[in-house]
Amino acid sequence: MSAAVRASKRMPSSCSGRSEMSELTVALTAGPCPSPWGEPVAVARLKAQPEDFVVEEQLGFEPTGEGEHLWLWVEKRGMNTDALSRELAAQLGVSAALVSFSGMKDRQALTRQWFSVHSTALWTLGDDWLSAEGGQYRVLRAERGARKLRRGAHAANRFCITLRDVRGEPEAIETRLQLLAAQGIANYFGPQRFGHGGRNIGQGLALLANRRSGRARRRDNRESLWISALRSALFNQVLASRVRNQTWAACLAGDVLQLDGRSALFKPDPLDVEIAPRLARGELHPTGPLPGDGASVVDDAVLAFEAEVLAPWQGICADLAALRVPAQRRSLRLMLQAPSWHWPSPDTLVIEFTLTAGAFATSVLQAVAVLEEGQLDAISAE
């Protein structure tokens, strides 16, 4: 049993008090998540400069070429996605509510992603970088589209990450990278989902406490982020437990599986002899819960296992169900698409890979190296 689970079992069931919420935040985010592959084999420095962390969004489709929405393919550095969204709205003279994007991209990085603007305006392309809110951006393409770009619509993100001042045995690092490329990683939500010091979880707990007590609270457009942080932390607890008992990539009685890179779930036939080989090849993955409203789709051993792991937080699960947040499942394992790496110099490692939307590059990097303090909060792309 993890320290987080032991600590949380000693806590009162109510989380309405500030001290109790603080303890729950610590319990849900305590320590690094366990890796199936053991401790990291190196120490490295990340993000010495924005170009050390390059993210390119992959939609999986193209704008239609006509319609009432202006679609912009934008490269940015030194600013986050929300800031750029506001900047584009100001430049086009429209409300920020009319600007849409699919995924949040990090501020301290060089990123490329699509935005859509409900506007008949045109955008004149140019090679010069434009400055805004402490960062820079430039629009590389402008197309017309029939519909707005919706959150989570993109298929994947391509990463090119440079680790500097790498300390470790090159042979051990190479072996670890080959292992990750062949067998994948545990599909944890990264620490940036929870905010600095777990603040998003704390806000989510406060929101649930206010809803439960009937106290009025001013609505905040970040509420969905806070609720998502709670569900993500609970998922990480289940995944960590399955990593510890070495079943994170195995099919247990009652499991629901997911095809690699797909969202659809299915219940395997226990007599299907192809399930185990397909799991071994990374074509199928077991799933874990994102708690919410709705009956569990797992049963037997998995239902009992998840109930035991989540028992300390049943009050949170009940509150999420009362909010009518739909219960969902997420793959426990994540495969790297088209991974590659090279050493430009003896202490510099460049790693490239593609991850499905919603996956965290943090989980890949932490399986290889301990990243120098102060860097993890900024490693994200959704």
CA distance 15 to 316: 9
Dist. CA 109–CA 126, nearest whole Å: 21
Amino acid at 244: R
Task: Look up 106 and say whether it is catalytic.
Answer: yes
Given a contact cutoff of 8 angstroms between Cβ atoms, the answer to whether 72 and 141 are in contact is: yes
Q: Report the C-alpha gap between 11 and 205 in whole angstroms.
A: 14
- From the candidates 52, 106, 255, 319, which is the catalytic residue? 106
Q: Which two tokens stand for residue 46?
A: 């990340």
Give CA–CA dist 167/328, Å, rounded.
40
Cβ neighbours around 216 below 10 Å, total: 5
Residue carrying the six token digits 């071994």: 280
Q: Please name every residue paired with 266 in a beta bridge, in sequence order, or none if there are none.
A: 257
Give the burial class of 196: count Cβ atoms within 10 A of its Cβ; 0-12 exposed, 13-18 middle, 19 or more buried. exposed
Q: What is d(CA 93, CA 27) in angstroms, rounded to the nearest whole number?
A: 46
CA atoms 106, 176, 169, 344: torsion sign = negative
**DSSP state, residue 268:** P
The answer to whether 287 and 265 are in contact (CB under 8 A) is yes
List the structure tokens of 242. Answer: 């399955």
Catalytic annotation, residues: 106
